[in-house]
Amino acid sequence: MDLKLFGEVFVTLLVIVDPPGMMPIFLALTGPLTARDRNRAAWQAVALALGVIVIFAVAGQTLLDYLHVDLPALQAAGGLLLVLVALELLTGKADDPSQQVTSNIALVPLGTPLLAGPGAIVATMLFVQQADGLGDHSAIAAAIVAVMITVWVVLRFSGGIVKILRPGGIEVLTRIAGLLLAAIAVQLIADAVAAFVTQYVNMA
């Protein structure tokens, strides 16, 4: 196994996924839940993200070509999903535990597009396309798993922060997370629009 490639993939994906930056968003979305449901949401989100990244690593380009979907379109779709979640956080609609369903939170937006977002998907696809031989593929696979384990550890033990923040702190954190999510969503959509414009200008 190529340890240098392992390091490159691990660092790249870890920076893109950004576990420390993910923590306030995770806590904002799961703050009203019980500790058990919060832990379940953490592993469900990581499992889904791992599955999505692996699928796109193996057959991503083929799948997008078959559906006639460009990567910027996938990016814009992720941005729109995040806009909806950000609005819920900013308006307080995500604060009601009766409205929270653990599996839904874990799947969208935690699993995708936050963990397995356009950035992680594109980076993984590029690494796979440049890989040469079983050793390179093994290094990429090991790095992906290592990143997901790291993310799970961060999310799993973030519950202690909830006890420190208490309900008032969680509410403030929720509003801040909503603002951050909105900014991320706008950036995703802006990058997608810029990519589309560049693509059509080059075709002209």
133: left (phi over 0), alpha (psi -120 to 50) or beta: left
Of the candidates 124, 134, 122, the one whose C-alpha atom is nearest the C-alpha of residue 195 is 122
Burial 41-72 (b: 16+ CB within 10 A, else e): bbebbbebbbebbbebbeebeeebeeeeeebb
pLDDT of 98 higher than 50: no
Tell me the mean pLDDT in the region 182-197: 90
What element of type H or E holds 156?
Answer: helix 134-156
User: Residue 157's pLDDT is what?
Assistant: 87
- Let me know: does 114 contact 121? Beta carbons within 8 Å: no
pLDDT confidence tier of residue 101, bands split at 50, 70 and 90:
low
pLDDT tens per residue, range 135-179: 999 999 999 999 999 999 999 988 777 777 777 777 788 788 888
What tokens does 45 get? 């989100």
- What is the share, in percent, of the chain residues with pLDDT greater than 70? 94
